[in-house]
A and B are shown apart, each in its own frame.
Chain A
């Protein structure tokens, strides 16, 4: 276990803030974290790696009026506190007056930090973790005779402590845990080799999917890729499988975050109050979700988070602002220093099968490759793999093609969101059916 507890981290934050004031800062904010974890990987029935993770860090930002400087270190010893504050002050001597610089408004600070039940340490040692990973890999390897190699199965568990404080007088923090189990296997058929993986992750070990089901899903996904063809170049409807559709939600959040907006580096400038999606689309976030993987009672500036309707009836209802971008835009922080917490899109009730029947012919995309999404223009072009759908049924797997469109058109051309989400994560969505995209293949 960690050498540190919550009260020690709180003392370090307080010492950092005191030292910053002593060195002349008019405002300051500080964060400290300590993480402990275990990563065990097995491959082909044998333990392959046992990694003990053990990370610490402290960071401080100081303000001299409107000038800002920051410093951080992995060293939590008392002597590091003065040196790190001095380094931050050294930086602030050279940065320039920035009218938007400073802490978030004092009145936005969280008053009382609620317990969101995010801390459930997993009492598991390396041998037990290896046994669980072996059970997972064994299930994958036994699933189908074409599974003939493995990249292994891993169990990961991490306990984190973090504390944030600033010179408004707020100091708060809490412990969290995160555990996961994952598996990746290979399959061969007629000289074609394919690989895929599956995983489960949770705050609470007891809520992880079973080792067997994770292994079998990894194997099922891998085998399903065999016999893949390259599709013809065409235009067609595209279904983004639920676990891939999360990336479209992220593209939306990236475009409405304050830093992209004030830099004019977004394809969704000046869209507050405007329709972005069809009128049945509702996207919300709940940062206070009990045991949520992205839950956080306050953001990275101590601002109380709250439930938000981001898209309401297809209309953009809020930007995602921290205090800096808020001031740049003449608005107030929305508690999004650190991003969106537990976002969710309402589904239209169809199963994946019903989505396929609705399009008759088109694509299901199960994997995306590369970074071909331009945040400034919304132009979207990415490598993909998945299945070709013919007569409302999966016809064969496809790979080595791209899908392209503009994100504006993809959002306004969203026809349905499936009720097929079963993956707990920070973004909760079913599969997305997009009216039309360009597929480039043969």
Chain B
């Protein structure tokens, strides 16, 4: 039996009074045309957030989103409609609108036959109630006090805490029923420091598919406060970043946003089916240095990017994208897998019931290599050592990608020296990957802070990598 599925059925079908017979009626409405596939995605999501600023918990919000998205597919065509009212007449109306994409005819009907059993990767807990309100507020106040106590130059502290309890249920035209209960928590500390009129900021945080006690374990929350203050103080000393082509050493963990942008998006199934990616048609080719093995893995327990089943009910898996530099696999949802004649990989994701699913990353990272990280830094005569990043972006067609360093240092004669101001790094995905000449033995995953945007839809993701050296990348500083 599957606890998450039972909970999802109770929340999304029993509560609004939808019987299996009613569901079949809605599905049959879509299947009364010539469709290749169809699904109904039910969602009930609760979110709670708290913000502390200027020493007081000044804001809190409670949010409920619920609805169902109905999708009918015929060849490369998709019809989609959704409703935030889970009553049968509204569901039938949406089915009517979604099926209009397909030609007249019939695709038969199918009762719910299979209940998909997936290994749960997290506890179907409600994180909103996992700490009392007093405990949540005390946590925020403690981090504020701690950040301020760390250094008198701290001028402003903003602490935010978010907990999401997301319940989903998906039924497809083959009668398969899958459900999931997805907790997600996120804590962030942002500080502004000032010294002699110069102001800088630092930000740190983390998250997981856990209850809120995640932040109380291993002194995590306090680490975020210390880390935010440390970063801000480093930036007070930062000098102008260099401009031009340089060897770049990326630290472990969050700098894996490199992989997300340089190769990840370009290996999503939809772009490759359509031939719009710089990686299209390159399966089996050397697209990165032989030191690189990159995977997308939605099965890591409790990780922010993980899912027991994706938003189409497919269990997630570890997909090898690049093995020893050779392109091995794309990330697929059901539609693109069907059209490309391959298996879905559990990467069909959507922001909510009001959005269409598409191939998306889960946790994307590079496996560890053999080098000692110190050895990698020591190998660079003059270059950049970048350890923290803001966001990135990629043009999947030209392969050009950027990611912006928020904490970086010069490397001079093999030693890490002065901190430099934030700078954007730009490269060409396939080229940059072939210039990776050293890979560290220190693989780390990020602390659970990533959000990926694609075609206007945001989903939580993870990234990771060991320390690695790229022989040449354009660094966008001002010191030419």
Interface contact B477-A70, CB-CB below 8 Å = no
CB distance from B418 to the nearest CB of A (A): 16
Interface contact A371-B60, CB-CB below 8 Å = no
Interface string of B392-436 (1 = CB under 8 A from A): 110101101111100000000000000001111111100000000
Stretch with Cβ within 8 A of B (4 or more), from A93-101, A170-178, A339-347: A93-101
Interface contact A91-B62, CB-CB below 8 Å = yes
Q: A91-B61, A379-B422, A399-B400 in contact; A54/B83 too (CB < 8 A)?
A: yes
Stretch with Cβ within 8 A of A (4 or more), from B194-202, B284-292, B437-445: B194-202
Residues of B within 8 A of A250 (CB): none
| 32-89 of chain B: CB within 8 A of chain A | 50, 53-54, 56-67, 76-85
Interface string of B128-140 (1 = CB under 8 A from A): 0000011011000
The contact of B476 among A70, A94, A225, A381, by CB within 8 Å, is: A381
Stretch with Cβ within 8 A of B (4 or more), from A42-50, A104-112, A200-208, A238-246: A42-50
Footprint of B on A, CB under 8 Å?
43, 46-56, 68-77, 80, 84, 87-88, 90-98, 101, 126, 149, 151, 186, 192-195, 225, 228, 230, 233-235, 263-265, 328, 369-372, 374, 376-377, 379, 381-383, 385, 399-406, 438-442
**In the bound complex, how far is the Cα of B474 from the Cα of A402, in angstroms?**
8
The contact of A54 among B84, B243, B274, B478, by CB within 8 Å, is: B84
Report 21 cross-chain contacts, Cβ distance below 8 Å, ordered by A residue: A53-B354, A54-B84, A69-B61, A70-B59, A72-B62, A74-B64, A94-B134, A98-B56, A194-B398, A233-B480, A265-B192, A369-B426, A372-B402, A372-B404, A399-B400, A401-B474, A402-B425, A438-B243, A438-B480, A439-B243, A440-B480
* Most interface-central of B134, B136, B391, B395 (chain A CB within 10 A): B395
Interface contact A377-B241, CB-CB below 8 Å = no
CB distance from A21 to the nearest CB of B (A): 19
CB distance from B255 to the nearest CB of A (A): 15
Residues of B within 8 A of A194 (CB): 397-398
3 closest A-B pairs by beta carbon, nearest first, are: A402-B476, A383-B402, A370-B402
B109 at the interface (CB under 8 A from A): no
Q: In this complex, what residue of B is CB-closest to A406? A: B478
Interface SS majority for chain A: strand
Residues of A within 8 A of B156 (CB): 263-265
The contact of B424 among A50, A68, A383, by CB within 8 Å, is: A383
Q: A371-B404, A379-B422, A381-B477 in contact; A101/B58 too (CB < 8 A)?
A: yes
Residues of A within 8 A of B422 (CB): 372, 374, 379, 381
Q: A74-B66, A88-B62, A264-B194 in contact; A402/B78 too (CB < 8 A)?
A: no
Q: In this complex, what residue of B is CB-closest to A80? A: B64
The contact of B276 among A50, A149, A401, A440, by CB within 8 Å, is: A149
Residues of B within 8 A of A404 (CB): 241, 243, 423-424, 476-478
Residues of B within 8 A of A195 (CB): 276, 395, 397-398
**In the bound complex, how far is the Cα of B205 from the Cα of A197, in angstroms?**
36
The contact of A376 among B101, B192, B400, B424, by CB within 8 Å, is: B192
B17 at the interface (CB under 8 A from A): no
Extra inter-chain contacts (17) besides given A47-B101, A72-B62, CB under 8 Å: A49-B77, A49-B78, A50-B100, A51-B81, A69-B60, A87-B62, A87-B64, A263-B156, A372-B423, A374-B201, A376-B200, A381-B241, A382-B402, A402-B474, A438-B478, A440-B243, A440-B244
Residues of B within 8 A of A56 (CB): 84
**In the bound complex, how far is the Cα of B476 from the Cα of A199, in angstroms?**
30
Number of A-B contacts (CB under 8 A): 245
Interface contact B427-A400, CB-CB below 8 Å = yes
CB distance from B287 to the nearest CB of A (A): 15
The contact of A377 among B59, B200, B423, by CB within 8 Å, is: B200
Residues of B within 8 A of A47 (CB): 77, 101
The contact of A403 among B54, B78, B401, B476, by CB within 8 Å, is: B476
Q: A233-B480, A402-B426 in contact; A263/B76 too (CB < 8 A)?
A: no
Residues of A within 8 A of B301 (CB): none
B275 at the interface (CB under 8 A from A): yes
**In the bound complex, how far is the Cα of B314 from the Cα of A219, in angstroms?**
38
**In the bound complex, how far is the Cα of B422 from the Cα of A382, in angstroms?**
10
Interface contact B63-A440, CB-CB below 8 Å = no
Interface contact B100-A126, CB-CB below 8 Å = yes
**In the bound complex, how far is the Cα of B199 from the Cα of A302, in angstroms?**
34
Residues of A within 8 A of B475 (CB): 402, 440
Q: In this complex, what residue of A is CB-closest to B404? A: A372
Interface contact B100-A401, CB-CB below 8 Å = no
The contact of B62 among A48, A49, A70, A385, by CB within 8 Å, is: A70
Q: A98-B58, A441-B244 in contact; A55/B200 too (CB < 8 A)?
A: no
**In the bound complex, how far is the Cα of B54 from the Cα of A404, in angstroms?**
33
B155 at the interface (CB under 8 A from A): yes
Q: In this complex, what residue of A is CB-closest to B47? A: A72
**In the bound complex, how far is the Cα of B244 from the Cα of A442, in angstroms?**
6
B245 at the interface (CB under 8 A from A): yes
The contact of A70 among B61, B65, B275, by CB within 8 Å, is: B61
The contact of A440 among B80, B275, B474, by CB within 8 Å, is: B474
B300 at the interface (CB under 8 A from A): no
B120 at the interface (CB under 8 A from A): no
Residues of B within 8 A of A69 (CB): 60-62
**In the bound complex, how far is the Cα of B76 from the Cα of A440, in angstroms?**
42
B294 at the interface (CB under 8 A from A): no
**In the bound complex, how far is the Cα of B62 from the Cα of A335, in angstroms?**
26
B356 at the interface (CB under 8 A from A): yes
Q: In this complex, what residue of B is CB-closest to A265? A: B192
Residues of A within 8 A of B80 (CB): 49-52
Interface contact A400-B356, CB-CB below 8 Å = no
The contact of A234 among B100, B278, B403, B480, by CB within 8 Å, is: B480
The contact of B61 among A71, A96, A377, by CB within 8 Å, is: A71
Residues of B within 8 A of A96 (CB): 56-58
B158 at the interface (CB under 8 A from A): yes
CB distance from B280 to the nearest CB of A (A): 8
CB distance from A141 to the nearest CB of B (A): 14
Interface contact A438-B192, CB-CB below 8 Å = no
B329 at the interface (CB under 8 A from A): no
Q: A369-B393, A376-B201 in contact; A400/B426 too (CB < 8 A)?
A: yes
Q: A70-B62, A95-B57, A370-B392 in contact; A265/B201 too (CB < 8 A)?
A: yes
B175 at the interface (CB under 8 A from A): no
CB distance from A418 to the nearest CB of B (A): 25
Interface contact B476-A383, CB-CB below 8 Å = yes
Residues of B within 8 A of A234 (CB): 480
**In the bound complex, how far is the Cα of B97 from the Cα of A53, in angstroms?**
11
Residues of A within 8 A of B201 (CB): 265, 374, 376
B369 at the interface (CB under 8 A from A): no
Q: A233-B244, A370-B392, A438-B478 in contact; A383/B60 too (CB < 8 A)?
A: no
CB distance from B12 to the nearest CB of A (A): 14
Interface contact A440-B57, CB-CB below 8 Å = no
Residues of A within 8 A of B395 (CB): 195, 369
Q: In this complex, what residue of A is CB-closest to B194? A: A264
Interface contact B476-A75, CB-CB below 8 Å = no
**In the bound complex, how far is the Cα of B228 from the Cα of A349, in angstroms?**
47
Q: A54-B81, A405-B478 in contact; A400/B400 too (CB < 8 A)?
A: yes
Residues of B within 8 A of A48 (CB): 76-78
* Most interface-central of B53, B62, B390 (chain A CB within 10 A): B62
Interface contact B426-A383, CB-CB below 8 Å = yes
Q: A54-B84, A440-B477 in contact; A371/B200 too (CB < 8 A)?
A: no
Interface contact B421-A149, CB-CB below 8 Å = no
Interface contact B400-A263, CB-CB below 8 Å = no
Interface string of B224-255 (1 = CB under 8 A from A): 00000000000000000101110000000000
Q: In this complex, what residue of A is CB-closest to B61? A: A70
Interface contact B423-A402, CB-CB below 8 Å = yes
Interface contact B78-A440, CB-CB below 8 Å = no
Residues of B within 8 A of A235 (CB): 480
Residues of B within 8 A of A53 (CB): 82, 354
Residues of B within 8 A of A263 (CB): 53, 156, 158, 192
The contact of A72 among B63, B81, B158, B199, by CB within 8 Å, is: B63
